[in-house]
Every structure is written in structure tokens, then in C-alpha cells.
Amino acid sequence: MGDLGFSGRLTALGRSALGMLCACLLAGSVAAQDFEIEDRQLYPGTSPVVLRVISTTDLDVFEPLLLRFQDQHPEIGIDYVVASSAELHRAIRGGATYDLALSSAMDLQFSLANDGRARSYSSAVTEALPDWARWNDRIFAFTAEPAVVVINEARFEGLPRPRSRADLVTLLRDHPDRFEGAVGTYDLRESGLGYLFATQEARASDAYWRLTEVMGRLNPRLYCCSSQMIDDVASGRLALAYNVLGPYAEGRLGQDEGLAILPMEDFANVMLRTALIPTTAQEVEAAGLMLDALLREGMGDGAEPGLPPLQARGEGAGDAFGPIRLGPALMVYLDRLNRESFLEAWNAAMEQ
Amino acid sequence: MSVLSADRYRRPGWSIARRLTLFLAGMVAILALVSWYMVTSFAREAAGRTQDNVLAASATSIAETLRSEGGEIRLELPYASFAMLGALSEDRVFYRVSTPDEVLTGYSDLEGPEAVSGEPAFATLPYGDVTVRAVSIQRAILSNGAVVPVTVTLAQTRDGVQSIAAGLSRQAAVLSAIVFVLAVGIAAFAVRASLRPLNTMAQHLATRGPSDLRPLRRQGPPELMPLVRSLNRLMERLEGSLRRSEDFIAEAAHRVRTPLAVVRTQADIALHSVEEEGQKQTLRRVIRAVDDSSRSASQLLDHAMVSFRADNLTLARVDLPALAKATAEALRPTAQMKDIDLTLSLSPAEVEGDEILIQNALRNVLDNAIKYSPAETVVTLSVSAGGGEARVRVADEGPGFGDAPAEQLTERFRRGDKVEGVVGSGLGLTIADEALRAHGGRLEMQTGDNGRGAWVTLVFPAA
């Protein structure tokens, strides 16, 4: 499995992009093509209809799904564009013409829907979605992915495996020698997903701030995205990576010796990957077909290779917390003032 | 008379039941509509108020976080305030926090209602492509020694509220429709039940015999009693006046008959004592006129008797052949005077009836036949039974009935159009007809074979 997370290969760019995003989130629009794309692939169909999809999911992960869709609808061509969630958000807000927008940043997606950038769509498939997986018939979740803790087993030799955040805080505090410079987590200033996980966790548990303070004392390494964190855990550079996307980590378990996922029993944040049909969409019907296909897979049992299904995480699996709710509350941490004060607190905790 | 007014007479008026039912249905419809409208507006108002309250609570909780830090106004949007809005419905949310000089955060183009300090102000207003319900709350913050009024505006689309209201309105509509249908059904039933005594009375009156003038004894609702009493009084008066006129006729006939008999006897004596042919002729004419008058008087008496007995039949088994024979014998002398041969053809037949009435009927029919038959002809009296009926037929060789319908012939004092030369009252067939009707039978009249002669048949239901 490839990179499912926030695609952030353009690290430096991402930083400025997010900064800009916040500046323009609620204000005006940007020029239609004024955004960065990372990858693009055209799958021609038998008719002139071309479905323009903008997504944060890498091609190698999404391609099987696209091909399965084309098996059923060979007439529909697909123009698949990969961009970071911030760029995707900027593009749609700026009025770029896409028929379907798929993003891992549910807060940004929500703000698009809330601000009237998403078209209302309903079908038998969307009706079948659980309530928590859709909002206002404008935004639909098609995967559920938990944040997990990944460790390097060799570097954990002789140490107890923490089972909760409280355990983790104790472990990190008691063994500063083992973890100095060997703890990795998202740089919230850079990663939208990291910010989302952090804010939700801070809201849910005061353990988050204790953990952040303890990690801050250990001279942590900050990352833009899950892939690099896992890479570094696998290589042994990191002993522990906090808040890595679960499906991605699971995909790497087989490939890399010594990787392990620490099950957290107190709670796990579950992120929903969401789709919306922008109001600028031109091939609305084809977009609806593709959306239905995505949701059908999302509601399936995950037997097909591709994306982790909704149900596996939606209920059970020890996730007392459940998925992050789609709703106006997601806008709270997008607010400029809230973001500033949260990052201020986080900075203070991290950089001691 | 115009066609229209003629139509008005022909078309039956609206029945009371229909009018009442329609009136009640109209009333129920109006009530159902009013209650539906009221429920709908209540629902809309209640849902709207709920939204207002949640909006106000959210905005207040945002305003609570306002503070001044180092001369800068700061706030934190509480997670709960937005979660609260999301819990109510899946409506889009917009917000703005501003001082008179700058927008602190949120949607800078969102213009909320003017808020007075302390009190939330509400407004429904357009924002972008949607209509939102907005609340504004103002809070004064002390910043850099100056009091700055900060306005928190929170707005939400109204889809949820409207769908709740629409759902309730639909339910209310369904309920109103059900209530309407039930109420109309009950109204129709009630109207019918209330009018039943009236219908029963009408039916009771309709099935009465033509001369049944007994008072109505039925107990009805008090509203109907004045009508019943008036009807009964009317019938009482009617019966009295009928009786008086019958009595009068009988009395008159009786009084006329006795002096006529005297005149007849005297004329007879005179006829035998005068020699001169001219005088004899005159006296014969006198005798014939007296006979006719006496016969008319008898018939009037008969008619009065039939009218009376028809209402109070004395039923017994009647042997028709015997009765026919006796009647024929009684009239044989009259027939012989005109050289009319009276022949009998009798089969056994029995009926249940009033013997005197039947005899009276037969005598009048036979008398008519003899009277209107030319001299030296045959009048045949036959009795037969079969097909659940007993028939007594009187056939003559006279002029027949001509073309007049049978009903006319049985009308009182009407005579056939071929008897101009013969004196008669025209009561004979009327008497027979009434007697037969009283027995549930009928009088059949037809012209005989070859267009000659009249056949009058008394048809009785067999015993």
C-alpha cells in the first residue's frame, strides 16, 4: 500500500500553502489554476465524457479502483489529478473545474461543503451510508482510517509496551535516554492531518498536552507526513512515531521487519476520507456514478485491494471514540484565531 | 312558462339529508383546514424558536470567550458551540466576530442584525446563495482602556427547521384528512339517523290504501309531532267530509227513490187505464224515465255502499258460480223485457271476499250489458278459474267500448262514447272497479271478437 496520507512531498511549499490557506479560507478566491499538482494521469474512455477527479490519494493506491470503475463504465474517461489537501482545497475554493474532489482533510472538505462549494447529491447508495458518514448530502465519507502509534521493535527491546496514552507518557518520562531524538510526530504547522488529529485529541483528552510536553522534552523530530515517519521508524532512526495513519502502517508491516503497531486502548482518532462534487462540476452524472462506486467499496468488506472500508473502523475494533464527526464543529479549529492559539500552545509545549 | 322554470318543477329539490351532509362536510373541511394551518404555523414557529435558542446559546458561548490580551481582543471559538449547531441539523453554519473597526475572525461578508448590548437580535436574511437565520450578540470588552463593542454573529441555514416543520405539516395534513373523512362519515350517518323517523312516516303513508284515512299512531321525535298532529287532524276532517258527502248522496238517492217508486206505480196504473195510443206512448216514456232515474239512484246508493264496505271488508268464502247464477236470475226479467237471452257458462271457482260487494259489482256490470245491448241479442255470463285467478266475464253483442282508454270508463259519471242514445249514470263500471280493487283484483275491459260486443271481466285473485 502506498501513501494514503496527506501527500506532502512539497514540504516547503506546503508550509506556505497552509499559511495562505488560512488567510484566504474565508475570504476571496484564487485564480482557477493557481495551485500545485503532484501527479496526473488520464484514463481515456470510449466516449468523449471525461471525469475530472482531484484527489489527495496517490495514483498507485487509487489506480485499481479507477480501473474497476472503468470496467463497469468503459465509456467514462478519467482525468486523475493528485494534489495535497491544502492545494485541493485551494483549487476548489478558487473555482477550478473538477467533477469530484477526494480528500483526507475532512475539516477542509467540510468547510468547502459548508461554504456552498459542494453540490448536493443523493442516490440509493448515499442513502445507505450511515449518518455519520455523510453531511447535508454534500460530503460523503468513503474510508475510515485511524491514527496509530508505530514503534521499532528493536528499539523497544526490554521496555514495556504502553497500552494507553498515560502509559506512553510514563514510559517516555522514565526513559529519556532511550527516546531522546527518537520520537516522531506531525509538524502541526505543516500537516493538516496532523493538526486535525492533534486538535481532536486535545479536545478529547488532557493526556494529549502531557504527552506533547513529554515529547517536547525529548527533542522530537517533526514530519510533514506519515510516509517519512514510517520510513524512519523502519530504519531505526525513530523508536516511535505518534499518530501515523493506520492503514498505511499496516501496509508496511509486511514489508519492513521490526515494525509494530501499538494498540492504544484509551481511544483512537479515526479520520474519514471524504468525497464531494464541487459546484463547478460539469460531468455531474459521471461524478455521481464514481461517487456511488467509491461509497459502495467504502461500505464493502475491503476484500478488493484499494482503500480501507468504512465499516471496519466505523464501529467496533476497540475504537471507543469512533470517527471524527462531520459537522460544523470541524470549522472551529480552522478558525484563524483558534489555529493561532492552538499552534502557540503546541509550540510552547514542543520547543522547550 | 319557460323551459327553465319547467325544469325546476321536474327536478327534485335537494334533499334535507344531502343539504345537511354537505353543510356539515363544508364546516368540517373548514375546521380541518384551519387546524392544519394552525398546526403548520405552530410547528414552523416551534422549530424556528428551537433554532433561535440554539443559535443564541452558541453565540453567547462564543461571546463568553472574548477577552483582551495585551491590548488585543482575543477569543476562542468553543468546540461545543459549533457541535451544538451540528447536533440540531445538517445545516450550513456561518459566523463573524467583529469590532466596529475590523473583522476579528469568520466570514467577513456576513452581515447580521444590529445587536443591542446584552440582548440577542435575530433576523432571517439572505447570505450568498442561501437564506440564513442569524443571531447577533454584542459584548463590550475593555481593551487598552477603551470599551470596544464586539459583535458575535452566528448564522445557520434553515433546511433542518424547514424539513421538521414540513414533516409536521405533512403529518397534520394526513391527520386532518383522516378527521375530515371520519367526520363526514359520522355527519352523513347522523343526518340519516335523524331523518329516519321522517322517512319511515312517509313510507308508512305511501303504502296506505287510497281511502285509508286512519290517524298516524307512530311515535316520533318531538319535532315531528306537530306535523303528525296536523296530518291526523287533516285526515280526520277529510274523512268526516267524505263520509258526510257519501251519506248525503245515499240519503238523497234514498229520498228520491221512494217518491219515484210511487210515481212509477201510478204511471203503471194510468198506462193500463188509458185507451188512447198517444197517451199510452207518453206514459211509457214517463215510466222509462222514472226507471232510469230510479236505477241511477240505486247505483248512487250502491256506490256509497261500495265505498263504505271497501274500507271495511267482511271476508268470507264466496262461491262465484252460485253468486253469478243468483245475480243472473235477478236480472233475467229486465233482460226479457228487451228480448235479451241471458246464457250462463259456469265452472267452479271460489274467492275470498265480501259477497255483497262482489254481487253488487257483478250486478252493475250485467245491468250495464243488458242496458247497452240491442234487443234480441245474447248476453253471456261465464265463470272460470285458472292461473291463480278467478274470472267472471260478461260478454254482450252491443256496440263495444270504442277507443276510449279503460281508465276513463271507470271514472265516476263517465260514459262510453257509443251510448249517446241511452240514459245512464255512468256509475256502473266505477262501482265494479272499486269493489274489485278492494279485493285486490281488477276490472278488464275489451272489445269482443270481430270488433263487436263488449267484454267486461271481473278478475279476482283465487282463494
pLDDT-based confidence at residue B441 (cuts at 50, 70, 90): confident
Q: Does A336 touch chain B (CB under 8 A)?
A: yes
- Kindly determine whether residue B76 and residue A136, on different chains, have CB atoms separated by under 8 Å: no
Q: Which residues of B touch A329 (CB under 8 A)?
A: 79, 82-83, 86
CATH no. for A145-269+338-350: 3.40.190.10
Give the model's pLDDT for residue A30. 42
- Kindly determine whether residue A328 and residue B93, on different chains, have CB atoms separated by under 8 Å: yes
Q: Which residues of A touch B68 (CB under 8 A)?
A: none
In terms of C-beta density within 10 A (0-12 exposed, 13-18 middle, 19 or more buried), how is residue B29 classed? middle
**How close, in Å, is residue B77 to chain A by CA atoms?**
6
Give the model's pLDDT for residue A301. 65
- Kindly determine whether residue A116 and residue B128, on different chains, have CB atoms separated by under 8 Å: yes
Chain B interface test: which of A324, A332, A342 (most B C-beta within 10 Å): A332
Per-residue HEC secondary structure of A132-188 comes to HHEECCCEEEEEEEEEEEEEECHHHCCCCCCCCHHHHHHHHHHCHHHHCCCEEEECC
Q: Is the pLDDT of residue A8 over 50?
A: no
Query: Could you tell me if B443 and B410 are in contact, meaning their C-beta atoms sit under 8 angstroms apart?
Result: yes
Give the model's pLDDT for residue B426. 67
Segment among A307-321, B215-229, B274-288, B336-350 with least mean pLDDT: A307-321
- Write down the residue that cell numbers 250486478 correspond to: B363
Q: Which residues of A touch B159 (CB under 8 A)?
A: 136
Question: Does residue B350 share a domain with residue B264?
Answer: no
Locate B419 and state its grid cell.
251510448
Q: Is the pLDDT of residue B255 over 70?
A: yes
Q: Which residues of B touch A336 (CB under 8 A)?
A: 105
Of A115, A135, A333, the CB nearest to B90: A135
Question: Does residue B432 share a domain with residue B362?
Answer: yes
Please give the tally of structural domains in chain B. Answer: 2
Q: Is B318 a member of any domain?
A: yes
Chain A interface test: which of B58, B77, B91 (most A C-beta within 10 Å): B77
Q: Which residues of B touch A325 (CB under 8 A)?
A: 83, 86
- Kindly determine whether residue A335 and residue B129, on different chains, have CB atoms separated by under 8 Å: no
pLDDT, tens digit (0-9, with 9 covering 90-100), for B121-149: 999 999 988 999 999 999 999 888 889 99
Give the model's pLDDT for residue A281. 95
**How close, in Å, is residue B126 to chain A by CA atoms?**
13
Q: Is the pLDDT of residue B213 over 60?
A: yes
What's the CATH number where B424 sits?
Answer: 3.30.565.10
- Kindly determine whether residue B82 and residue A332, on different chains, have CB atoms separated by under 8 Å: yes
Q: Is B46 a member of any domain?
A: no
pLDDT, tens digit (0-9, with 9 covering 90-100), for A307-352: 777 765 444 444 445 788 899 999 999 999 999 999 999 999 988 6
- Kindly determine whether residue A329 and residue B86, on different chains, have CB atoms separated by under 8 Å: yes
Give the model's pLDDT for residue A31. 44
Question: Does residue B334 share a domain with residue B279?
Answer: no
Q: Is B82 a member of any domain?
A: no
Mean pLDDT of B364-372: 86
Q: Is B332 a member of any domain?
A: yes
Q: Does B160 touch chain A (CB under 8 A)?
A: no
Give the model's pLDDT for residue A209. 93
> Can you give the pTM of this predicted structure?
0.67
Give the CATH architecture of domain A11-144+271-324: 3-Layer(aba) Sandwich (3.40)
Buried b (16+ CB within 10 A) or exposed e, B61-98: bbbebbeeeeeebbbbbbbebbbbbbebbbbbbbbbbb
DSSP B403: T
Question: Does residue B228 share a domain with residue B347?
Answer: no
Give the model's pLDDT for residue B6. 45
Q: Is B78 a member of any domain?
A: no
Give the model's pLDDT for residue A26. 40
**How close, in Å, is residue B167 to chain A by CA atoms?**
17
Q: Is B299 a member of any domain?
A: yes
Mean pLDDT of B217-222: 78
The β-bridge relationship of strands B378-386 and B389-395 is antiparallel
Cα→Cα distances B381→B375, B398, B453, Å: 17, 14, 13
- Kindly determine whether residue A341 and residue B91, on different chains, have CB atoms separated by under 8 Å: no
Q: Does B75 touch chain A (CB under 8 A)?
A: yes
- Kindly determine whether residue A337 and residue B74, on different chains, have CB atoms separated by under 8 Å: yes
Full domain range(s) for residue B430: 313-463
Give the model's pLDDT for residue A346. 94
- The whole-chain average pLDDT of chain B stands at 84
pLDDT-based confidence at residue B216 (cuts at 50, 70, 90): confident
Locate B198 and state its grid cell.
321522517
Q: Does A325 touch chain B (CB under 8 A)?
A: yes
Question: Does residue B411 share a domain with residue B287?
Answer: no
In this structure, what are the phi and psi dihedrals at residue B390, rounded to the nearest 5 degrees? Answer: -115, 135
Tell which A residues from 23 to 42 touch B, by Cβ distance under 8 Å: 26-27
- Kindly determine whether residue B78 and residue A116, on different chains, have CB atoms separated by under 8 Å: no
- Kindly determine whether residue B104 and residue A203, on different chains, have CB atoms separated by under 8 Å: no
ipTM over 0.85: no
pLDDT-based confidence at residue A7 (cuts at 50, 70, 90): very low
Mean pLDDT of A243-255: 86
Q: Does B129 touch chain A (CB under 8 A)?
A: yes
Mean pLDDT of B100-126: 90
Q: Is B286 a member of any domain?
A: yes
Q: Does B402 touch chain A (CB under 8 A)?
A: no
| DSSP run (H or E) holding A110 | helix A106-114
Segment among A92-96, A169-173, A213-217, B400-404 with least mean pLDDT: B400-404
Q: Does B104 touch chain A (CB under 8 A)?
A: yes
- Of the residues B311, B331, B349, which one is the last residue of a structural domain? B311
Question: Does residue B268 share a domain with residue B325?
Answer: no
Tell which A residues from 223 to 282 touch B, by Cβ distance under 8 Å: none
**How close, in Å, is residue B131 to chain A by CA atoms?**
12
Segment among A21-35, A291-305, B243-257, B296-310 with least mean pLDDT: A21-35
Question: Does residue B361 share a domain with residue B297?
Answer: no
- Kindly determine whether residue B92 and residue A136, on different chains, have CB atoms separated by under 8 Å: yes
- Of the residues B284, B311, B338, which one is the last residue of a structural domain? B311
pLDDT-based confidence at residue B13 (cuts at 50, 70, 90): confident
pLDDT-based confidence at residue A123 (cuts at 50, 70, 90): very high
Q: Which residues of B touch A322 (CB under 8 A)?
A: none
- Kindly determine whether residue A332 and residue B79, on different chains, have CB atoms separated by under 8 Å: yes
Question: Does residue B406 share a domain with residue B344?
Answer: yes
- The whole-chain average pLDDT of chain A stands at 84
Q: Is the pLDDT of residue B60 over 70?
A: yes
- Kindly determine whether residue A26 and residue B83, on different chains, have CB atoms separated by under 8 Å: no
Q: Which residue of B has its CA nearest to A138?
A: B90
Q: Does A75 touch chain B (CB under 8 A)?
A: no
pLDDT, tens digit (0-9, with 9 covering 90-100), for A131-179: 889 999 999 999 888 889 999 999 998 899 998 999 999 999 999 999 9
Buried b (16+ CB within 10 A) or exposed e, A215-249: bbbbebbbbbbbbbbbbbbbeeebbbbbbbbbbbb
Of A113, A328, A337, the CB nearest to B86: A328
Query: Could you tell me if A244 and A147 are in contact, meaning their C-beta atoms sit under 8 angstroms apart?
Result: yes
Question: Does residue B358 share a domain with residue B219?
Answer: no
| A11-144+271-324 and A145-269+338-350, same CATH topology | yes
Q: Locate the domains of chain A by residue range.
A: 11-144+271-324, 145-269+338-350
Mean pLDDT of B354-376: 86
Chain A interface test: which of B68, B90, B159, B161 (most A C-beta within 10 Å): B90
In terms of C-beta density within 10 A (0-12 exposed, 13-18 middle, 19 or more buried), how is residue A273 classed? buried
Segment among A302-306, B384-388, B443-447 with least mean pLDDT: A302-306
Tell which A residues from 204 to 233 touch B, by Cβ distance under 8 Å: none
- Kindly determine whether residue B82 and residue A116, on different chains, have CB atoms separated by under 8 Å: no
Q: Does A128 touch chain B (CB under 8 A)?
A: no
Question: Does residue B398 share a domain with residue B259?
Answer: no
- Kindly determine whether residue A331 and residue B82, on different chains, have CB atoms separated by under 8 Å: yes
Q: Which residue of A has its CA nearest to B159?
A: A136
Sequence-ordered list of residues with C-beta below 8 angstroms from that of B322, at least 6 positions apart, any chain? none
Give the model's pLDDT for residue B406. 58
Decide: helix, strand or coil at residue A323: strand
- Kindly determine whether residue B86 and residue A325, on different chains, have CB atoms separated by under 8 Å: yes
